[in-house]
Chain A
Amino acid sequence: MHFLIHRLASMFLVLFVIITATFLLMHAIPGGPFTTEKNLPEAIQKNMEERYHLNDPLWKQYADYLAHVASGDLGPSFKYENRSVNDLIRESFPVSAELGVIAIFWAICLGIPAGIIAAVYHNRWPDYIAMFLTTIGISVPGFILAALLIFVFALQLGWLPAALWEGPSSTVLPALALTGLPTAFIARLTRSGMLEVLNQDYIRTVRAKGLSQYTILTRHALKNALIPVVTYLGPLIAGILTGSFVIETIFAIPGLGRHFVTSIYNRDYTVILGITIFYSALLVTLNLLVDIVYALLDPRIKLNEGKDD
C-alpha cells in the first residue's frame, strides 16, 4: 500500500514535469502557430490569436492549459476548425490500440518460443538461426521492414493488401512490421534468462527426478526465466507505440500514430502537444501497472523498497 501511494505520487510528479516541459517547448518555437500561413491580414491574425488566447501572458496560458488538461480537455486543433484533440484521440486511438495489441500478441507468441528453443539448443544450429534472425530484427529499421513486407507479400506475391485498415487480412503486414524489433528483444531476453535458469541446481534436481524435458521447461524453468521479459513490457509498449507512427503512416492506417506524424508535418502545435501528453500519460500509467505485476510475480522484490540499482 505504501508502495502504491509512493508510486502514484511519483507518477503525478512525472506527469506534471511532462506537461510543463511539453508546454514550454512548444512555446519556445519562434513565431506562433499561424506564422506559416500565407501572409494573413493583421486583423485576422489578431483575431485568431485572440480566439486561442495566444496573447495572454505565458503564466496564464500555462495555468489555463494545466486546468484544462487536469479536467481531461486537450484543447482544439489549430489546423482543423471545430475539431478538438480529444475528438481526434477518441476516433483514432481504438485503431492504434487494436494494432498494438495484435503486435504485442505476435511479439510474445513468436519471441518466447524462439528464445526457449535457442536456449535449449545452446550453441547448436537452432540457436545460431534464432540469434541471427533476432540480430536482423534489431538491425533493420521498422519502416524498411514494412517496405520489404509490402514489396514481397503485397506487390510481388499479391497475398495480402498493401495498405488501409479493412478486415483481418489487412492487419497482418502492419502487425508483423511493428513486431519485428520487440520480438527480437523478447527472444534474446528469454534466451539469456533461460540459459541462466537451466544451469541452476533446482533444475538439475528435477532432471534427476526424471521429469520430462517438456515439464522441466514449462513448469520449472520458464517462470523464472521470464522475469526479465516482464520488465521489458514497459519499453515494449513504448516501442510499439512509437513504432506505430511509422507503420501507420506507411500502411495508411487511420490511427493516432499517423495523425501524430501528420500534425508534425502540418506543425499543428496543439495536436502535437495533446498527443504527446496523451501518450506520455498512457505510458507512465502502463509502466506503473507493469511494476505492480512484476512485484506480484516475483516475491523477491519488495513492494515498499525504493528504486535502487
Chain B
Amino acid sequence: MHITPSAFHRTPFPQEPLSTASATGTSYWQDAWRRLQNNKLAIAGLIFILLITLAAIAGPHFSGYSYADQNLPEANQPPSSMHWFGTDNLGRDLMTRVLYGARISLSIGIAASLINLTVGVLYGGIAGYAGGRIDNIMMRIVDILYGIPLLLYVILLMVVLGPGLLNIFLALGLVYWLGMARIVRGQILTIKKQEYVLAARLTGASSARILLRHLIPNSIGPILITTTLAIPEAIFTEAFLSFIGLGVSAPMASWGVLASEGVVSLRSYPFQLLYPALAISITMLSFNFLGDGLRDSLDPRMRK
C-alpha cells in the first residue's frame, strides 16, 4: 500500500459543534405543559375559561337583544324559546345580560390582576434585588399593610371614588398587590443566591442580563400561578362589592350585580338568580382548578 499526500485533504475547521444533540431536551415549559395536560380538571377549567371568554366577546352581538333595552310588557318571564334565560324585572333579556356581565366580570378580574401583577412584581423585584436596608424598609411597609383588613379598605376606596368600572380596577389593583410583592421578593432572594447566578456573574454577565435571563424567567412560574388565582379573587370581591351597592353603575351589570338582583327576587323568580350564580360559580371553579393545576405543573416542589 502506497500513501501519497494526495490521499489527505484538508477539512474545514468545524464552525458548529460536532454533534448536534439528537435527543432534544424537554424544556421547562414543555415539561410543565405535559404535566398540565395530565391534569384533567385543569384542562377542563382552561377550556371553559376560553369558551366563556369567546362568549363574552361575541355573545352579546348574536343574542338579538341589548343589555340595556327595557321591555316592560315582557318583564319577569321564565326561560322560553324567545328568552333562553328568561327576562328580568325590566323585561331585559337575561342571557344577553349574563353574557354582557361576563365581559364586565372577566375584564375586572383580568385588569385588577394585571395592575396587581405590575405593582407587585416591580415592588417585590426591586426589594429582592436591592436587598439590605432598602429591602428591609420596603418589606416592613408591606408587613404593616398586611396587618390591615384589606377588604375594608377596598370598601372605603370605593365609597370615596364612587361606583364605576375604572374605580373597581383601581381599588382592587391598588390594594391586593401585597401577596404578589412578597412572592416575587422571596423568589428573587432565593435565586439570587444560587450558584449558577454567581457563575453567570463570574463569566462577566451584566446585572441587566442576570435580571432578564435568570432572575425573572425563573420567577415566572410563581408569578403566573399568583396571577391566575388573583383573577377569581377579583371577580369574587367585585361580586361582594356589587352586593353591598358599590359595584358598576346601571344599566351596566356584572355577574355580581345580576346575582344580587336575583337574590332580591328569589322568592318569586328564582331563575333570575340561577344563571348568574352558575356563571360566577363555574368560572371561579375553572380558575381555581387551572390555578391549582398550574401550581402542580410549574412548581413541582410546591405540590401538595
Contact = CB atoms under 8 A, between A and B. Distances in A.
A291 B300 CA distance: 30
A272 B156 contact: yes
Interface stretch (A64-72, A144-152, A201-209): A144-152
Contacts of B144: 10, 13-14, 17
Nearest to A272: B159
B116 interface: no
A309 B147 contact: no
B114 interface: no
A279 B260 contact: no
B165 to A, nearest CB: 19
B41 to A, nearest CB: 9
Given A10-B144, A143-B260, A150-B266, A265 B156 contact: no
Contact of B288 (A17, A135, A143, A309): A135
B249 to A, nearest CB: 15
Contacts of B160: 25-26, 28-29
Nearest to A269: B159
Contacts of B273: 144, 147
B261 to A, nearest CB: 11
B44 interface: no
B266 A151 contact: yes
Contacts of B284: 138-141
Given A26-B160, A195-B304, A309-B182, A138 B288 contact: yes
Interface in A237-291: 238, 241-242, 245-246, 249-250, 261, 264-265, 267, 272, 276, 279-280, 283-284, 287
A56 B282 CA distance: 52
Given A135-B289, A150-B266, A246 B281 contact: no
A123 B155 CA distance: 41
Interface residues of A, number: 51
Contacts of B236: 141
A21 B256 CA distance: 28
A92 interface: no
B157 interface: yes
A147 B281 contact: no
Contact of B243 (A11, A246, A283): A246
A192 interface: yes
Contact of A151 (B245, B270, B289): B270
Nearest to B285: A139
B178 interface: no
B151 interface: yes
A144 B260 CA distance: 8
Given A25-B157, A26-B160, A280-B152, A250 B263 contact: yes
Pairs A-B, 6 closest by C-beta atoms:
A139-B284, A192-B304, A139-B285, A14-B147, A144-B277, A242-B151
Interface of A: 10-11, 13-14, 17-18, 21-22, 25-26, 28-29, 135-136, 138-144, 146-148, 150-151, 155, 192, 195-196, 238, 241-242, 245-246, 249-250, 261, 264-265, 267, 272, 276, 279-280, 283-284, 287, 307-309
Interface of B: 139, 143-144, 147-149, 151-153, 155-157, 159-160, 182, 186, 232, 236, 239-240, 243-246, 256, 259-260, 262-263, 266-267, 270, 273, 277, 280-282, 284-285, 288-289, 304
